[in-house]
Amino acid sequence: MIPFNKPHLTGKETHYIYDAVNSGKLSGNGKYTKKAQAFFEEKFRFKKTLLTTSCTDALEMAAILLNIVEGDEVIVPSYTFVSTALAFVRQGAQIVFADSRSDHPGIDETLIENLITPKTKAIVVVHYAGVACDMDLIMQIAKKHNIFVVEDAAQAIDSYYKGNPLGGIGHLGVFSFHETKNIISGEGGLLAINDASFEERAEIIWEKGTNRSAFFKGEIDKYGWVDTGSSFLPSELISAFLYAQLEHLKDIQDKRIRLWNIYFENLKDLQNENLLKLPKIPEYATNNAHMFYVVTKNLEERDNFIRHLRENDMHAVFHYLSLHTSKYYLKNHPLKSLPWSDEYSNCLVRLPLFYELEEKQVNSICKVINEFFNK
């Protein structure tokens, strides 16, 4: 069986974990936390970064930093993971769902402005599959209406919009290091702070609502409870694992992009024959090869396709179920019409893509796919 995903180890993870254990500093914000945060700030020029225990935690920090309160509205794409919306719901926000683009599962940027009301506090954009949204348009809309932009870059490490790293364009950006991502730590996340006005408070929220970080920097002579917050920072064991991965970022990205390109070259004739749709990379975006997906014509074809792959010992999966159709949302809201989001929920299939996948395996998968659609 070719699995859908297999976590990759670079070789230094356990060495760095041992080093962290041997140092006697396990609780977080130690040597490896600082090294990982410095990596992001130096390579991607983020103003400030804070590691978190998950991308969900990073989103929750963003919601707190933006002072989201009951009655505020937050615009979110429906075709995304639940955390993108849930972090803001927990603060009392009303979620206003936006549809996907016809040519890409990401948010349809042209619909955003019509969703804005006097209650709108923020726009959360998701760079689906690591492919950038049109950030110039989004930031122009946000500036015009004086609202915040949060980039959900969970899938978008080392991906760019017009040369600018994703996660570093909006007021805040968040990343995931879940084991299905390009760079992993099992669980883990990162908050990128691009607006300097959030920096001091972000550290307080990160440290359980205390000014403990300022104390350890020698900026104050004692620390106490000064704001809301939680225990968002990860242990040094997670940070040590992550840092070993970051050291191999280029190698990991190069391999994934090579596999992605093999998929595309082997399947593009099916798209030309209108038998399926392949990912689209706009001119303004780069491809970090987080995933390779195909879009079938309908739900029945999708299910038959996934079944066919499994019969050939190849594991593929469908992805998100549109959040506007979820039981939780429908308890208090009428069903909305978001046709493109629904189409991706019904028709999108993710194919195996991980570092240790071999080129010959990708070719075998593509052969089976071509046989299925050409029947």
Q: What is the C-alpha separation between 248 and 303, in angstroms, rounded? A: 36
Three-class secondary structure of residue 103 per DSSP: coil
CATH code assigned at 73: 3.40.640.10
Q: What is the C-alpha separation between 38 and 187, in angstroms, rounded? A: 20
Expressed as residue numbers, the domain containing 56 is 13-246
What confidence score (pLDDT) does residue 213 get? 75
Last residue of a domain, one of 246, 279, 313: 246
DSSP secondary structure letters along 179-219? TTSSS--SS-EEEEE-SGGGHHHHHHHHBTTB-HHHHHTTS
For residue 312, the 8-state DSSP code is T
DSSP secondary structure letters along 63-93? HHHTT--TT-EEEEESSS-HHHHHHHHTTTP
Give yes or no: residues 110 and 198 share one domain: yes
pTM of the model: 0.96
From residue 128, alpha-carbon distances to 55, 138, 346 in Å are: 14, 15, 16
Give yes or no: residues 319 and 219 share one domain: no
- Note down pLDDT in tens along the chain; length 375 residues: 999 999 999 999 999 999 999 998 899 899 999 999 999 999 999 999 999 999 999 999 999 999 999 999 999 999 999 999 999 999 999 999 999 999 999 999 999 999 999 999 999 999 999 999 999 999 999 999 999 999 999 999 999 999 999 999 999 999 999 999 999 999 999 999 999 999 999 999 999 999 877 776 777 666 889 999 999 999 999 999 999 999 999 999 999 999 999 999 999 999 999 999 999 999 999 999 999 999 999 999 999 999 999 999 999 999 999 999 999 999 999 999 999 999 999 999 999 999 999 999 999 999 999 999 998
What confidence score (pLDDT) does residue 221 get? 64
148: in domain: yes
What confidence score (pLDDT) does residue 364 get? 98
Last residue of a domain, one of 214, 231, 246: 246
Count of Cβ atoms closer than 10 Å to residue 312 Cβ: 16
What confidence score (pLDDT) does residue 299 get? 98
Give yes or no: residues 212 and 261 share one domain: no
What confidence score (pLDDT) does residue 223 get? 81
Q: What is the C-alpha separation between 52 and 33, in angstroms, rounded? A: 10
What confidence score (pLDDT) does residue 204 get? 95
Count of Cβ atoms closer than 10 Å to residue 175 Cβ: 28
Number of domains making up the chain: 2
155: in domain: yes
Give yes or no: residues 31 and 125 share one domain: yes
Q: What is the C-alpha separation between 62 and 100, in angstroms, rounded? A: 23
The first and second tokens of residue 335, run together, are 């069903």
4: in domain: no
What confidence score (pLDDT) does residue 288 get? 98
What residues have CB less than 8 Å from 175, skipping those under 6 apart? 55, 58, 153, 154, 156, 157, 167, 189, 190, 192
Last residue of a domain, one of 225, 246, 267: 246
What confidence score (pLDDT) does residue 125 get? 98
What confidence score (pLDDT) does residue 220 get? 67
Residues marked as catalytic: 181
Give yes or no: residues 203 and 298 share one domain: no
What confidence score (pLDDT) does residue 224 get? 87
